[in-house]
Each structure stands twice: as structure tokens, then as C-alpha cells.
């Protein structure tokens, strides 16, 4: 069965842990969108691995891992991540990069950093990894792809089109330094060397060969950060939703049998943007401290709040989620009460929203309507069977299933591989 792992909230749901687990049964793991804005943590045998671009399945060493056309790659980050894995003794010989993936150039990170640090209004709180500007150029058809690095003629022709536009924008819009063709060619030569062992020009054969095998698609970010369906403009610039797996991997939608939405038992968000169930009090602090809610990529403290069934039901719909992996249930082990948001109330007129309202500029007027559940006050990190979970915990999970109308098939009770309950 081919599965997609999709973040169901605003990212950092524990996707990498679930990908690593599901990768056991897969022959090919494909990362389909995003770039090194992602920070993915896998804990195996008490050792913590942090990934940004490379599919978490790489740890097995005997599976093909493919970074698809829908991704954007910052070459130096890629190089650093690969050499970190090699140093740790991980076999990276089956790591493959699509020649169609987009390259993040230094001017992309410069623009991202510049916009973020000078914005007075509308700051997104990006990871400053050049994600937005790289995708902007891709869609404006002035981006560079990895395959361009290996044809002098193509690269030269493309740069003659790209650089005049790019430099004009860099200088006149941002007041940044322009790039000469010589400089960019020099960079590209360096990048060609970085990618050479991994670029997979025979990717069509790889996908063809794996068509009859088990493919796992790995998403980054989450549905609420999706550029089309998330809390726009406070989103990333790609499509983390289940549908993104088809466009970003090179396989069609019929290759997908199941979409596993990964959600925390609560919600976190890094960066700016609306967050109706956000807790800015000591309960939020308690969740952050117990859950170690600090960003993998930027170290920023994550904003924390109660589980939001309104956005989750929306994520089930637009993310195409067919089942849920619920993570970090253990973070509530010492909570007397746990709340779940079942609707939003408009403070201006009392209107109740059960469906997600997409005009996010109006979210400042919304307050959560909560139902309260009794906590279980028990350490569940050592439990491995669903029916051994405390009754209040099972009740909480059953209520979430009822609200979301999809089954919770995996419950995660700790960061390591074995701290997982398959229902
Ligand atoms: P991702 O971006 O979705 O892969 O998630 P991150 O790696 O950014 O953040 C998830 C964090 O939670 C990581 O530190 C994981 O090791 C940790 N984690 C994952 N599942 C669980 C769980 O069930 N319980 C606890 N306590 N930690 C978890
Ligand atoms: P993983 O895969 C959480 C957020 C940023 C910012 C917005 C846009 O680890 O879940 P960008 O740099 O993408 O232009 O920033 O998206 N963001 C993430 N938040 N987890 C992530 O990835 C994220 N990747 C981007 O904080 O709000
Ligand atoms: Mg993360």
C-alpha cells in the first residue's frame, strides 16, 4: 500500500517519526515539496537525527530515497546534511535527487532575509531559507533546475534571460548587490560538484521500476501552511497537502492508496499568522516545556494551543487525509483537563463557525468554543497496546475520531520508534 505522510496542522507534527516508521515497509521514499525550511527529527536507539531535505527513510540504508521535482534545494545545506549523515555512518548511496528540482540561489536567501527583516507590516516569520523567492522564480519561469548545472549551453542561455531581470529587481526593489554571469557560473560549477553523486538523470526508470513496489511519499510543513489552502499569506510557498505528492513526485494520484495525516494532540505554530486556539498563558508554557516545542530549523519557541478540530476537519478535507497518526499524546500525561476546540465563535455577532472560515484576516474576531475532557494523570510513554491506554485517554482519542470522521490508526507516545501504538 502506497502512503503519503502529510502534516495536518502548521508543521512539526512529528511527520519524520511517522515517515521513519512507515518507511520500514517501503522500497522507495520520495520527498515531494518544500526545502530546508523543514526540520524533521527521528530518534533511533537514543540517537537523534535531524533532517531538512533528505527523506527520513535514509536511515535504513537499503531503500531508494528520492528528492522530487517539487522541492527547492539550497546546495550548501544539502551538502552539509549529506556529510553529517556520512559522518554518522549512514549509507547514502541510494539517495537520489531529481534533475527537475529547483535550486535556491544566494539571491533567494538574501531577498527572503531582507524582506523578513525590513517588513513593518505583514511579516510572515519565514525560516529565511529563500523558500518563497525560489518558488516565485520557479513559477515566473526564471528559476534554475539541477539539470541546468550539467549543460554549459543551457545554463548560459538561461542566465542571459534570468540575470537582467533578477539584477534589476535586486538593485531597484531591494537595494541589494547584482550578480555577474561569471559569479553565477562559478557558483553553478560548485553546485554541479555537490549534486554530482546524487543527481538521478534516470529518474524515469527509477519511478517505472518502483511502480509495482511500495512507495512512501514524505511531506514537509503542513496543510495549514499550504500555499493554496493554508492561512494565506502566512503560509509556505508549496503544496504540503496530499495532492502535492502527485505533482511533486512524478507519479500520478492513482499511485496513492492512503494519506496519513500527522497531528499533535495539541497544536503548535512557528512564525506569524492566525492561531485561534493559541494559549499565551501558563498552560501554553507548560505544553511548550513538556513537549520541547522549539523549532528544529530556527530554534524559535513554538506557539502552543489546544487541539483545533475546526482546522483539523478542514485539513482532512483539503489534505485528502484518510487516516490520522496522533503524536505527543504523552505530553498531556500530567494535565488534569484537556480542551478541544469544536467550533469558532465570532465575537462581533456571536455567529458560530463549524467549518473553517478562510478569510484569515477575520480570525482576530474569533474565539474558540471548547469542550473539556478529563486528563488521565498517568505516564503513557511505556504503553504499546491501545487497550492498555488509560480510559480517559482512549475517550479523548475516540472523541477526536468522532469529530474528524477519520480513524486514528497510530498513536505516538514518545519520540522513539518503539513508542508507537498501532491500532
Ligand atoms: P516534523 O517536522 O513534523 O517531522 O516534526 P519535528 O521533528 O519538527 O517536531 C516533532 C518533535 O516531537 C521532535 O522533537 C520529535 O522527536 C518529537 N516527537 C515526535 N513524536 C512524539 C511523541 O509522540 N511524543 C513526544 N514527547 N515527542 C514526540
Ligand atoms: P516541518 O516540515 C513549521 C513556517 C515558517 C513560516 C512559514 C513560511 O518541519 O514541519 P518559509 O520559510 O517556508 O517561507 O516560512 O512557514 N514553516 C514551518 N513551520 N514546520 C515547518 O516544517 C515549516 N516550514 C516553514 O515558520 O511561518
Ligand atoms: Mg519540523
Give the domain CATH number at 108.
1.10.300.10
Same domain for 73 and 15 = yes
Same domain for 164 and 289 = no
Same domain for 303 and 186 = no
The pLDDT value recorded for residue 21 is: 96
Pick from 14, 126, 128 the residue to mutate for probing ligand 2's pocket: most ligand atoms within 8 Å of its CB: 126
Domain end call among 260, 286, 303: 260
From ligand 2's centre to the CA of 37, what distance in Å? 6
Same domain for 68 and 117 = no
Ligand 2 close to Cβ of residue 125 (< 6 A):
yes
Return d(Cα 214, Cα 211) in angstroms, integer. 8
Q: Which atom of ligand 2 is nearest to the CA of 129?
A: 12
Same domain for 180 and 47 = no
Residues in CB range of 99: below 8 A, 6 or more apart:
145, 146, 147, 150, 199, 200, 201, 203
The pLDDT value recorded for residue 370 is: 98
The number of distinct structural domains making up the chain is: 3
Same domain for 409 and 376 = yes
Domain end call among 138, 171, 195: 195
> Phi, psi at residue 5, to the nearest 5°?
-100, 115
Count the alpha carbons within 13 Å of 240 in the hemisphere toward its beta carbon: 34
Could you list the residue range(s) of the whole structural domain that residue 411 is in?
263-422
Whether residue 233 has a cis bond before it, omega within 30° of 0 = yes
Same domain for 238 and 355 = no
Q: Which residues of the chain have pLDDT under 70?
A: none
Residues flanking ion ligand 3, Cβ below 5 Å: 12, 39, 296
Question: Helix (H, G, I), strand (E, B), or coil: what is residue 159?
Answer: helix
Give the domain CATH number at 332.
3.90.170.10
Catalytic residue check, 12: yes
Return d(Cα 275, Cα 231) in angstroms, integer. 9
The pLDDT value recorded for residue 122 is: 84
Give the domain CATH number at 234.
3.40.440.10
Domain end call among 154, 179, 195: 195
Same domain for 335 and 268 = yes
Same domain for 204 and 122 = no
Pick from 19, 225, 229 the residue to mutate for probing ligand 2's pocket: most ligand atoms within 8 Å of its CB: 225
Ligand 2 close to Cβ of residue 35 (< 6 A):
no
Return d(Cα 219, Cα 4) in angstroms, integer. 7
| Cα 362 from chain centre | 25
Same domain for 312 and 382 = yes
Report residues whose beta carbon is within 6 angstroms of any ligand 1 atom. 7, 11-17, 39-41, 43, 292, 296, 327-328, 330-331, 412-415
Return d(Cα 58, Cα 369) in angstroms, integer. 42
Residue with cell 505527543: 328
Same domain for 267 and 224 = no
The pLDDT value recorded for residue 259 is: 98
From ligand 3's centre to the CA of 122, what distance in Å? 23
Same domain for 207 and 319 = no
Task: Give the cell for residue 283.
Answer: 498552560
Task: Give the cell for residue 373.
Answer: 475532557
Amino acid at each position: 500500500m502506497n502512503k503519503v505522510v502529510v502534516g495536518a496542522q502548521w508543521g512539526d507534527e512529528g511527520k519524520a517519526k511517522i515517515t521513519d516508521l512507515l518507511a520500514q515497509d517501503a522500497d522507495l521514499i520520495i520527498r515531494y515539496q518544500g526545502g530546508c525550511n523543514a526540520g524533521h527529527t527521528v530518534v533511533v536507539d537514543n540517537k537523534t537525527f535531524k533532517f531538512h531535505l533528505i527523506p527520513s527513510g535514509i536511515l535504513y540504508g537499503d531503500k531508494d530515497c528520492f528528492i522530487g521535482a517539487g522541492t527547492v534545494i539550497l546546495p550548501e545545506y544539502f551538502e552539509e546534511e549529506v556529510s553529517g549523515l556520512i559522518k554518522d555512518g549512514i549509507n547514502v548511496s541510494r539517495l537520489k535527487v531529481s534533475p527537475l528540482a529547483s535550486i535556491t540561489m544566494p539571491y533567494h536567501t538574501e531577498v527572503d532575509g531582507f524582506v523578513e527583516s525590513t517588513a513593518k507590516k505583514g511579516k510572515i516569520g519565514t525560516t529565511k531559507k529563500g523558500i518563497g523567492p525560489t518558488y516565485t522564480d520557479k513559477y515566473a519561469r526564471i528559476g534554475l533546475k539541477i539539470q541546468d548545472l550539467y549543460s554549459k549551453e543551457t545554463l548560459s542561455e538561461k542566465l542571459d534571460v534570468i540575470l537582467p531581470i533578477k539584477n534589476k529587481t535586486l538593485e531597484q526593489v531591494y537595494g541589494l548587490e547584482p550578480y555577474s554571469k561569471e559569479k553565477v557560473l562559478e557558483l553553478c560549477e560548485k553546485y554541479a560538484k555537490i549534486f554530482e553523486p546524487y543527481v538521478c538523470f534516470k529518474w524515469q526508470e527509477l519511478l517505472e521500476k518502483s511502480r509495482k513496489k511500495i512507495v512512501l511519499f514524505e511531506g514537509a510543513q503542513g496543510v495549514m501552511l499550504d500555499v493554496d489552502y493554508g492561512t494565506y499569506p502566512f503560509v509556505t510557498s508549496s503544496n504540503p497537502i496530499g495532492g502535492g505528492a502527485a505533482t511533486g513526485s512524478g507519479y500520478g494520484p492513482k499511485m496513492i492508496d492512503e494519506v496519513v495525516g500527522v497531528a499533535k494532540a495539541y497544536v503548535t505554530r512557528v512564525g506569524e499568522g492566525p492561531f485561534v486556539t493559541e494559549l499565551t498563558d501558563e498552560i501554553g508554557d507548560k505544553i511548550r516545556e513538556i513537549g520541547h516545542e522549539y523549532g528544529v530549523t530556527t530554534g524559535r519557541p513554538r506557539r502552543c494551543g489546544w487541539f483545533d478540530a475546526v482546522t483539523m476537519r478542514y485539513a482532512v478535507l483539503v489534505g485528502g487525509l484518510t487516516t490520522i497518526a496522533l503524536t505527543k499524546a504523552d505530553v498531556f500525561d500530567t494535565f488534569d483537563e484537556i480542551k478541544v476546540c469544536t467550533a469558532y465563535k465570532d465575537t462581533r455577532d456571536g455567529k458560530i463557525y463549524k467549518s473553517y472560515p478562510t478569510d484569515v484576516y477575520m480570525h482576530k474576531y474569533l474565539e474558540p468554543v471548547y469542550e473539556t475532557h478529563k486528563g488521565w494523570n498517568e505516564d503513557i510513554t511505556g504503553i504499546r497496546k491501545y487497550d492498555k491506554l488509560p480510559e480517559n485517554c482512549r475517550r479523548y482519542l475516540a472523541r477526536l475520531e468522532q469529530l474528524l470522521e477519520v480513524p486514528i490508526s497510530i498513536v505516538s507516545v514518545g519520540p522513539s520508534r518503539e513508542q508507537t501504538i498501532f491500532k
